[in-house]
């Protein structure tokens, strides 16, 4: 994997995981204090101290799943093996969808920055004092990411995007949130945004060093390749928390996803606090 692609994959997976955990904590009726404790502990594990600096190092050796599992298990919340598997698959598919939806090379970095903004917002809403040290840690990580990737040219950004897509290519899991909106097909493939009409069929060549556009070629595209109902445009910016603002159902002709709406759900342990320890509700 490209050394610059791996840090983005780590950060985006951790952010998507935090989005899901926040939604599930609310749905299972966990108290506000314990929601704040779980979320702040997870954020501190990934973004606090030297953690973020380590993850952003190109030679960081840990595997993505290892980091996500450790982040989830660092708090008072505990997940069983099945729930952890589903959580990880969900985070992977959400990251894959957003990367595949990117229309410009710059969006690869923009997705990550907006993910971090959303995590900071979650912490500020849940943790007293405007999020305290946890919010500051996320903001610091955002500055580091922006500094690392803003200086990259189109060639390196293209390579990062291709490496990320290659890494995620084999991941195909049906997600109820996407199925119910007809964004995902029954074979777990996605409906992607409609390409910009002015750019459809345009091949651009950039200089690897200067980033200058050296040439453009317009390839003929048959009208049948751009049928509107084969595409789906999610209205919110890429990197948004889709669990906080679920996408609206599309009117696609080519999916029967509603049949499988309940075929995949994230079944977390429902946790209650009893006797000073966290236990599984029967």
Q: Determine the pLDDT at residue 183.
A: 83
Residue at 152 is within a domain? yes
Residue at 66 is within a domain? yes
Residue at 240 is within a domain? no
Comparing 97-111, 162-176, 253-267, the range with the smallest average pLDDT is 253-267
Is pLDDT above 70 for 202?
A: yes
Q: Determine the pLDDT at residue 193.
A: 72
Residue at 118 is within a domain? yes
Helix (H, G, I), strand (E, B) or coil at 279: strand
Main-chain dihedrals φ then ψ at residue 233, nearest 5 degrees: -105, 110
Q: Determine the pLDDT at residue 117.
A: 94
Q: How far apart are CA 9 and CA 94, in angstroms?
A: 12
Helices (H) and strands (E) in the chain, counts: 9, 4
**pLDDT per residue as tens digits for the range 18-30:** 999 998 888 888 8
Q: Determine the pLDDT at residue 203.
A: 86
Q: How far apart are CA 9 and CA 11, in angstroms?
A: 6
21 shares its domain with 121:
yes
Q: How far apart are CA 46 and CA 50, in angstroms?
A: 9
73 shares its domain with 140:
yes
24 shares its domain with 130:
yes
Q: Determine the pLDDT at residue 129.
A: 81
Q: Determine the pLDDT at residue 240.
A: 87
The pTM of the full predicted model, rounded to 2 decimals, is 0.76
Comparing 52-61, 141-150, 184-193, the range with the smallest average pLDDT is 52-61
Overall domain count for the chain: 2
Q: How far apart are CA 32 and CA 12, in angstroms?
A: 25
Is pLDDT above 50 for 279?
A: no
Residue 282: Cβ within 10 Å count? 4
User: In degrees to the nearest 10, what's the CA dihedral of 103, 107, 108, 109?
Assistant: 170
Residue at 98 is within a domain? yes
Q: Determine the pLDDT at residue 275.
A: 32
Strand partners, 205: 215
Residue at 231 is within a domain? no
133 shares its domain with 45:
yes
112 shares its domain with 213:
no
Mean pLDDT over 61-65 rounds to 77
55 shares its domain with 113:
yes
Mean pLDDT over 90-99 rounds to 92
**Per-residue pLDDT band at 201 (split at 50, 70, 90):** confident
25 shares its domain with 149:
yes
140 shares its domain with 103:
yes
108 shares its domain with 199:
no
81 shares its domain with 219:
no
Q: Which residue has the tokens 């007809």?
A: 182
Residue at 109 is within a domain? yes
- Domain range holding 57? 5-174+265-280
Residue at 181 is within a domain? no
Asked if 241 contacts 202 with a C-beta cutoff of 8 angstroms, the reply is no
Helix (H, G, I), strand (E, B) or coil at 240: coil
35 shares its domain with 159:
yes
84 shares its domain with 222:
no
Q: How far apart are CA 220 and CA 200, in angstroms?
A: 9
């Amino acid at each position: 994997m490209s050394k610059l692609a791996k840090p983005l994959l780590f950060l985006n997976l951790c952010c998507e995981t935090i989005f899901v955990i926040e939604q599930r904590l609310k749905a299972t009726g966990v108290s506000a204090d314990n929601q704040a404790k779980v979320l702040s502990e997870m954020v501190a594990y990934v973004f606090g101290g030297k953690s973020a600096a380590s993850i952003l190092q190109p030679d960081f050796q840990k595997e993505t799943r290892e980091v996500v599992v450790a982040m989830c298990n660092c708090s008072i919340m505990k997940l069983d093996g099945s729930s952890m598997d589903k959580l990880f698959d969900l985070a992977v598919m959400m990251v894959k969808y957003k990367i595949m939806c990117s229309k410009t090379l710059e969006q690869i970095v923009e997705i990550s920055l907006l993910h971090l903004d959303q995590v900071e917002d979650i912490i500020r809403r849940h943790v007293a004092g405007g999020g305290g040290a946890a919010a500051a840690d996320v903001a610091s990580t955002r500055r580091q990411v922006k500094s690392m990737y803003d200086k990259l040219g189109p060639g390196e950004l293209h390579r990062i995007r291709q490496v990320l897509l290659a890494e995620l290519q084999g991941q195909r899991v049906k997600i109820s949130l996407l199925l119910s909106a007809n964004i995902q097909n029954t074979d777990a493939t996605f409906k992607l945004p409609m390409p910009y009409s002015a750019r459809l069929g345009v091949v651009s060549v950039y200089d690897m060093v200067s980033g200058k556009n050296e040439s453009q070629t317009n390839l003929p595209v048959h009208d049948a390749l751009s049928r509107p109902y084969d595409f789906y445009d999610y209205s919110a910016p890429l990197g948004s928390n889709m669990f906080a603002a679920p996408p609206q159902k599309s009117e696609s002709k080519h999916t029967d996803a509603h049949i499988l709406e309940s075929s995949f759900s994230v079944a977390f342990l429902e946790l209650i606090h009893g006797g000073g320890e966290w236990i599984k509700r029967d």
